[in-house]
Structure 1
Amino acid sequence: MNDDHPVLARISLNPHSREVQRDLRDATQMHRTVMRMVPDGLGDSPRHQAGLLYRVDETDTTSTLLVQAHRLDPAGLPAGYGHTQIKSLAPMFTALRTGLPVRYRIVVNPSKRERPPHADLNTRGRIVALSGPDADQWWHRRAATAGLDVHILTPTNVHPVRPRTTQAAPMRHHLLRYDGTAAVTDPAALAEALRNGIGRAKPYGAGLLSLAPATAS
């Protein structure tokens, strides 16, 4: 497979696996588990070096884990974790062109940095989660920057996640899933967003953008 294009693993999670049950409760553990699928020795920022992004898609009866990276080895997963299928995303990248209608799905952490009143310009401020119309506008802006003209967006609340390690900051990552349709406006920018993800909280299941062909309206 061409290393320039990532691969995608679709893992149908085994609901009877203790490791799966643990990971669905604990985003830090889920991150550790998916990192077991990428090569060792990637330096100080292994997730970034591996190009790893992931998302959990849940229905009333099933949970599917999507993992994207430059290289993935399902042998790194715990025994009995789930059924894994891996495919190259090269055809998707090759198909990108201006005006292409697509369906999309993404889980994001809509947020902004807010400085206290009268703070000097060197004060970074705190991260504030966005919701409702503010979150929708955030996604419209980020999608436009990523080369997508959003036509339809349907938000779905996702359970917020909190890092559970003792060293982690005591903040919750408020997650929101968007599904909808869009048209490609900038294939190069979109390819970059597909490889690198969009927004914050990537170690906690946010940022992975999925695309599929859509019929032009």
Structure 2
Amino acid sequence: MSLWLTRIIPDPRSREARRDGTNAVDLHHRLMSLFPDDIADTTARQDLGVLFRTETTDDGGHRILLQSSLPPDLDRLPSGYGPGTTKSLAPLLDAVRPGLAVRYRIAANPIRKPGRTTRELYNLSAVVPLRGAAADDWWTRQAETAGLRITALHSTPLDAARGTRRSDQRHIRHDRVQFDGTAVITDTEALRTRLTGGIGKGKAYGCGLLSLAPHRGDQ
């Protein structure tokens, strides 16, 4: 299994970068354009293992983290879009083992889908975004199925991922919460599966990328 992590720093002077920064659908198409054109559109993201997340940097700027099973061709970015670098995640994958303490980060779409009776009783929509303790509980359950035992958790609400799909003009919205903290690996195979496949809904639009790093207690 091969995984690559690419960091792109969008230049705020670039019109294309500014547009992508406000539209998750446009950013999805931008990142998919960095890969070969001969992969079927309907399965390209899954076939390439493409997951991404946008983050605010310490200096107030922004960066895009892109994970994929093939290294992207950064020369396909528009001129002036911003610099990018790609590295292999092989050392991280090789280090994954039960009992290893790690730091994690994920921007996810924690939701609940109430049954029809509950929706009618409480006038709820088919998909209910979760916040606060309910979102934390959601992530803890997801982490357990991904082979992680949470030891520390901090959650931060983020702006929703929004955009309009080109194929049918359908408006897209995925509420997001960022989860940071520490955990201990309990199941290596489950973790590798979720690292490559992502977690939760909205994976095409900036949700579900799980990032790990070794954790040392004095950090």
TM-score of the superposed pair, with normalisation by structure 2:
0.90
Deviations 1:41-82 (A, max 9, x none): 212211111110000011362111011111111112111111
Q: 3, 12, 17: which is aligned to 1:15?
A: 12
How many residues are aligned here? 209
Question: Does structure 1 retain, via aligned residues, the 8 Å contact 2:32–2:45?
Answer: yes
Change (3 A) 1:38 1:182: same
Structure 2: stretches of 5+ with no match in the other structure: 120-124
Change (3 A) 1:189 1:168: farther
Shift of 1:84: 0.8
Amino acid at match of 1:14: D
Identity of aligned residues (%): 40
Amino acid at match of 1:65: I
Deviations 1:7-60 (A, max 9, x none): 110112211111111011111100010101111221221111111000001136
CA distance in 2, matches of 1:28, 1:207: 15
Question: Does structure 1 retain, via aligned residues, the 8 Å contact 2:9–2:62?
Answer: yes
Partner of 1:56: 54
TM-score of the superposed pair, with normalisation by structure 1:
0.91
| Aligned Cα root-mean-square deviation (Å) | 1.7
CA distance in 2, matches of 1:84, 1:170: 29
Is 1:28 matched up with 2:25? yes
Partner of 1:196: 197
Q: 36, 39, 42: which is aligned to 2:39?
A: 42
SS for the counterpart of 1:159 is strand
Partner of 1:133: 133
Amino acid at match of 1:69: S
Deviations 1:83-123 (A, max 9, x none): 1110001110000011101111100000122222189xxxx
Partner of 1:122: none
Structure 1: stretches of 5+ with no match in the other structure: 120-124
SS for the counterpart of 1:13 is coil
Is 1:95 matched up with 2:95? yes
Partner of 1:213: 214
Question: Does structure 1 retain, via aligned residues, the 8 Å contact 2:165–2:171?
Answer: no
Amino acid at match of 2:188: P
CA distance in 1, matches of 2:38, 2:133: 43
CA distance in 1, matches of 2:118, 2:18: 46
Change (3 A) 1:88 1:118: closer
SS for the counterpart of 2:29 is helix
